[in-house]
Amino acid sequence: MKRNEEYDWILNELPYADPFLFLDEILRVDNNGAEGSYLFKSDSDFYGGHFKNNPVTPGVLLTECCAQIGLVSLGIFLLGKETKLKNLSIGMSSSQMEFLLPVFPGERVRVVSELVYFRFQKLKCQVKMYNKNDKLVCKGVLAGMIGEANE
């Protein structure tokens, strides 16, 4: 898949690294939402235990993937426009998710988010994750605090 270099600066600002980065590429970001994708690598350690002899991507990691792509990338984009990225402080404050289909090792997923609001450093989004057949895998509402730390 071809990388959209326009968004490289957002990838560079992400506060995550392997083994907890769940974002390969950003496909689109604007004031109203973000879209990106991630390939769940089949050799990831957690598949050995979730579940025994039956590897399925844990829901918490689908949620995390939705948050990194849908919430954090969007937050960095919105803050970056105002160059407020020094001392970035970040934390998830709520998640309400529904899981509809399993994601197996080696599957690529695509996350699409839609801004609900970004006010007083709280960012809230509706998120949806699709598999390679464009079937809805999970959806929900995520919120977090993101902004410059005061101290």
Annotated catalytic residues are 50
- Which tokens belong to 106? 């080696």
Count the residues in the chain: 151
CA dihedral 31→36→71→85, nearest 10 degrees, is -70
Nearest Cα neighbor of 69 from 112, 105, 131, 5 is 112
* Shortest spacing between CB 122 and other proteins, in angstroms: 4
Question: Is 84 an interacting residue with respect to other proteins (CB under 8 A)?
Answer: no
Nearest Cα neighbor of 84 from 150, 148, 35, 144 is 148
- Distance from C-alpha of 4 to C-alpha of 50, rounded to nearest angstrom: 33
Count of residues near other proteins by CB under 8 A: 10
Exactly one of 9, 60, 117, 132 binds other proteins (CB under 8 A); that residue is 117
Question: Is 44 an interacting residue with respect to other proteins (CB under 8 A)?
Answer: no
Nearer to other proteins, 49 or 91 (CB): 91
* Shortest spacing between CB 123 and other proteins, in angstroms: 10
- Piece in contact with other proteins (CB under 8 A), picked from 24-32, 49-57, 113-121, 132-140: 113-121
Question: Is 122 an interacting residue with respect to other proteins (CB under 8 A)?
Answer: yes
What letter would DSSP give residue 85? -
63-88 residues labelled b (16+ CB within 10 A) or e (exposed): bbbbbbbbbbbbbbbbbeeeeeeeeb
Nearer to other proteins, 21 or 116 (CB): 116
Nearer to other proteins, 4 or 94 (CB): 94
Residue numbers of the site for other proteins (CB under 8 A)?
93-94, 117, 119-122, 143-145
